[in-house]
Amino acid sequence: MIPLARLPDQTGVREDIRRTPWPRGKSHLAADPAETFTAFLVTLWTGGFRFAHTAHPRGDAALREMFSLKAVPAPCTFTRWFNRFGQGDIDLCLGGLMRRIWSKVRPLTITLDLDSTVFTRRGGSREGAEVGYNPAKPGRRSHHPLIAFAADVRMLANAWLRPGDAGAANNATAFLDHTPSVLGDRHKVGLLRADGGTWDLGYTRTVQRPDGKMVTVYYFNEAEDRERYISATIWNP
pLDDT confidence of residue 200: 46
Nearest to 116 by CA among 68, 155, 77, 170: 170
Q: What is the pLDDT of residues 126-155, one digit of tens each?
A: 788 899 888 888 989 999 999 999 988 999
Provide the Cα torsion 157, 160, 166, 167; round to 10°. Answer: -20
SS3 224: coil
> pLDDT tens per residue, the chain (237 residues)?
788 888 888 889 999 999 999 998 778 778 899 999 999 999 999 999 889 999 999 999 999 999 999 889 999 999 999 989 988 888 899 989 999 999 999 998 988 888 888 999 887 677 888 998 888 889 899 999 999 999 889 999 999 989 989 887 788 878 888 898 999 999 988 887 776 554 444 445 677 777 888 877 766 566 665 566 666 777 787
CA distance 146 to 24: 28
Neighbouring C-alpha atoms within 13 Å toward the C-beta of 109: 2
pLDDT confidence of residue 171: 83
pLDDT confidence of residue 199: 45
Neighbouring C-alpha atoms within 13 Å toward the C-beta of 77: 20
Query: Which helix (H) or strand (E) segment is 203 a member of?
Result: strand 203-208
Numbers of helices and strands, H then E, in the chain: 9, 10
